[in-house]
Structure 1
Amino acid sequence: MARTARSRRTTAALAALSIGVLALTACNGDAEGDVAAPGKHASPSATDKGADKGEATDVPSSAAPGDGGGSGKSSATPGTPSSAPTSGSDDDQDGGVGMCETTDLTYKVTVASRPVNHALLTASNKGGDACLLPANDLVITIPGLDGAAEHMGPEGKDWILKPGESAYAGILFARADTAGGKSADKVEVALTASESPSTVPVAGGPITVNDSQVTSFFGTAEDALTY
């Protein structure tokens, strides 16, 4: 009887030991599986990385060079250039415009209140065409006196005088420090020395002439009477 009871206790102990070993084995197996199995947030494989990179950098652009697809060049058509000056244009150049002749202009000479002993010459284009005015070749003479008026002041620039436009020159008839002189109520005007002059009455005259001088042509009366 005593032996039977001891055998039963031994069998029960072995059974319990076996159950414990099995349980421990199962736990270790689960732990190893947890380490080996990839998690839900595991890094992508090399293939996945290649695919991701291809989406970002390897897909070729469909924009052709010059279409504005990041090429740095605009595809807009260049605008039409502005029109070049017309040949012979009165506003832009003197091509095709003839020189002004003395007979192309009308003249008026008026005694100026200031400066003293001065007169203003106004020359106007009376024709229907523009002409190139020689600014520095003006010739002023007094009938009955020898020689032409000397030049005074700076030289001007030849410019195109349109129909109806005027140019101006200042005439000095007498120096205050020079005594005597000849009385005159007319002057002779020529645009160049090679042309026949036009005789012009002096408005506000007669004047006393003893040492005459004349400026170049200017665009305003104020400039002409500065010298």
Structure 2
Amino acid sequence: MAYAARSRRTTAVLAALSLGLLALTACNGDSEKDTTAPGAQASPSASKDKGAGSSSPTAGPGGSGGGGKSSASPSAPPSSEPGSDDDQDGGVGMCETTDLSYNVTVASRPVNHALLTAANKGSDPCLLAANELVLTIPGLDGAAVRMGPDGKDWILKPGQKAYAGILFSRADTAGGKSVDKVEIALTASESPTTVSINGGPVTVNDMQVTTFFGTAEDALTY
């Protein structure tokens, strides 16, 4: 009887163990199913993302991408305007003797000097030849000798003035002739114009003249 009782208990224990094993197996099965499910669902999503990403590089300059279409649009060319020729000698003719008006006035200082003022009396600018001024005395041979530095040709605008200094006589030169007029030409090839000397007459024995300057002060420096 004791053996039979032990046998029943053993059978009951084995049956309990079998049920626990079955429950554990079922539990593990559910767990494995739960862990594999997300992986199965992620695969289509990953495939979709990959497809969306690969479509971006295929949009070229002629494609439907906004960036490609913008880069293909031509930019407007820069506008251009004609340049200005102000104060340039291109297209401006040389000043002729008859283009200017002249005034010669005896200077208070330095002594034996006079100031020549030439003004453009025309309506157009002209190029004034700086070192070709010719100054003579009616009835006397020879022209005034150049004194002072060389100048540069420059554009004389309408109404603008240019100045030259005249030395009529030197203190160390004896004699001379009294005159009240001078002859002026802008170049040796032109006919001179006769101009009265304001404040004259003056004694001429060794006449010299500067080039043209932009101010009276510069012209009377020599």
Whether TM exceeds 0.5 here: the answer is: yes
The answer on 1:138 being equivalent to 2:133 is yes
Q: TM-score, normalised by structure 1?
A: 0.74
Q: 1:146 to 1:24 in 2, by over 3 A?
A: same
Q: 2:213 aligns with which of 201, 218, 222?
A: 218
Indicate the residue corresponding to 1:16 in structure 2: 16
Aligned-residue offset at 1:18: 1.8
Aligned-residue offset at 1:42: 5.9
Letter in 2 for 1:22: L
Identical amino acids, percent of aligned pairs: 68
- Aligned 8 A contact 1:90 1:160 in 2: no
Q: 1:225 to 1:43 in 2, by over 3 A?
A: farther
Give the secondary-structure state (helix, strand or coil) at the position aligned to 1:202. strand
Q: Structure 2: 5+ residue runs without aligned partners?
A: none
Aligned-residue offset at 1:110: 0.8
Q: Structure 1: 5+ residue runs without aligned partners?
A: none
- Give CA deviations for 1:159-203 in whole Å, capped at 9, x if unaligned: 443443322211112234434433322222122223332222211
Indicate the residue corresponding to 1:25 in structure 2: 25
Q: TM-score, normalised by structure 2?
A: 0.75
Indicate the residue corresponding to 1:200 in structure 2: 195
Indicate the residue corresponding to 1:166 in structure 2: 161
Q: RMSD of the alignment, in Å?
A: 3.5
Aligned-residue offset at 1:121: 0.5
What is the rounded CA distance, in whole Å, between the counterparts of 1:22 and 1:64 in structure 2? 63
What is the rounded CA distance, in whole Å, between the counterparts of 1:170 and 1:40 in structure 2? 108
- Give CA deviations for 1:49-88 in whole Å, capped at 9, x if unaligned: 52253255444453587x753x8xx844223311255xxx
The answer on 1:100 being equivalent to 2:95 is yes
Q: 2:109 aligns with which of 108, 114, 125?
A: 114
- Give CA deviations for 1:16-75 in whole Å, capped at 9, x if unaligned: 22212212322333444455443699688762452253255444453587x753x8xx84
Q: 1:45 to 1:160 in 2, by over 3 A?
A: same
Looking at secondary structure, tell me which structure has more helix per residue.
2
